[in-house]
Homo-oligomer: A and B are copies of this chain.
Amino acid sequence: MADRKLSTRAEDFAEWYNQLVLRAEMADYAPVRGCMIVRPYGWALWENITAALDRRFKATGHMNAAFPLLIPRSFIDKEQHHVEGFSPELAVVTIGGGEKLEEPLVIRPTSETIIGHAYAKWIQSYRDLPVLINQWNSVVRWELRTKLFLRTLEFFWQEGHTAHATLEEAEAETRQMLDIYTDFAMRDAAIPVIAGRKSDSEKFAGADITYSIEAMMGDGKALQSGTSHNLGQNFAKAFDIKYLDKNGVHQFCWTTSWGLSTRFVGAIVMVHGDDQGLILPPRLAPYQVVIVPIFKSDDEKRTVFDAARKIREQLVSADIRVKLDERDGMSPGFKFNDWEMRGVPLRVELGPKDVAGGNVVLARRDKPGREGKTSVSQQGIAAVVAETLEQIQNALFQRALEFRKANTIEPKDYGEFKAAVEKGFALAHWCGSADCEAKIKEETKATMRCIPLEQNGGAGKCIYCRKSAPEQAIFARAY
Q: Please list the residues of chain A having a beta carbon within 8 angstroms of any beta carbon in chain B.
A: 28, 30-32, 35-40, 42-44, 46-47, 63-72, 75, 87-98, 104-105, 107, 114, 117-118, 121-122, 133, 137-138, 140, 142, 144, 153-154, 156
Contact among B63, B104, B118, B153 with A37 in the assembled complex (CB-CB below 8 Å): B118
- Cβ–Cβ contact B133 & A70, under 8 A: no
Contact of A88 among B46, B97, B137, B156 (CB under 8 A): B97
Instruction: State in angstroms the CA–CA spacing of A107 and B156 once bound together.
Output: 16
On whether the beta carbons of A97 and B107 are closer than 8 Å, the reply is: no
Q: Are A67 and B138 in contact (CB under 8 A)?
A: no
Q: Is the CB of B69 within 8 A of A140?
A: yes
CA distance A264 to B92 in the complex (A): 30
- What separation, in Å, do the CA atoms of A332 and B122 have in the docked complex? 24
Report chain B residues within 8 Å CB of A92.
93-96
- A37 & B138 in contact (Cβ 8 Å cutoff): no
Complex contact B68–A30 (CB within 8 A): yes
Chain B CB within 10 Å, residue with most, of A31, A92, A114 = A31
User: Which B residues are in CB contact (< 8 Å) with A117?
Assistant: 31
Would you list 22 pairs from A and B whose C-beta atoms are within 8 A, ordered by A residue?
A: A30-B118, A31-B71, A31-B72, A32-B68, A32-B105, A36-B68, A40-B65, A43-B64, A43-B66, A66-B156, A69-B107, A69-B138, A70-B140, A70-B154, A88-B98, A89-B97, A91-B96, A92-B96, A94-B95, A95-B104, A97-B142, A107-B107
Q: State the copy count for this chain.
A: 2
Cross-chain contact of A40 among B38, B133, B144 (Cβ < 8 A): B133
Residues on B with C-beta less than 8 A from A118 are: 28, 30, 37
- Choose one: B28, B93, B133, B144; the contact of A97 (CB below 8 Å): B144
Q: How far does the alpha carbon of A40 sit from the alpha carbon of B162 in the complex, in Å?
A: 13
State whether A47 and B64 are in contact (beta carbons under 8 Å apart), knowing that A107-B107, A133-B40, A140-B69 are contacts in the complex. yes
Bound Cα distance A72, B64 (Å) = 31
Contact A68 B142, beta carbon cutoff 8 Å: no
Q: Closest B-chain residue to A54, C-beta based? A: B47
Chain B residues with Cβ below 8 Å from A66 are 37-38, 43, 46, 138, 156
The residues of B that contact A95 with a CB separation of less than 8 Å are 90-92, 94, 104
The interface centre, meaning the residue of A43, A75, A117, A156 with most chain B CB atoms within 10 A of its CB, is: A43
A69-B69, A92-B95 known; A63 vs B35 contact (CB < 8 Å): no
- Kindly list chain B residues whose C-beta atoms are within 8 Å of the C-beta of A72: 31-32
> Which of A35, A40, A94 has the largest count of B CB atoms less than 10 A from its CB?
A40
Say yes or no: B68 contacts A43, CB within 8 Å.
no
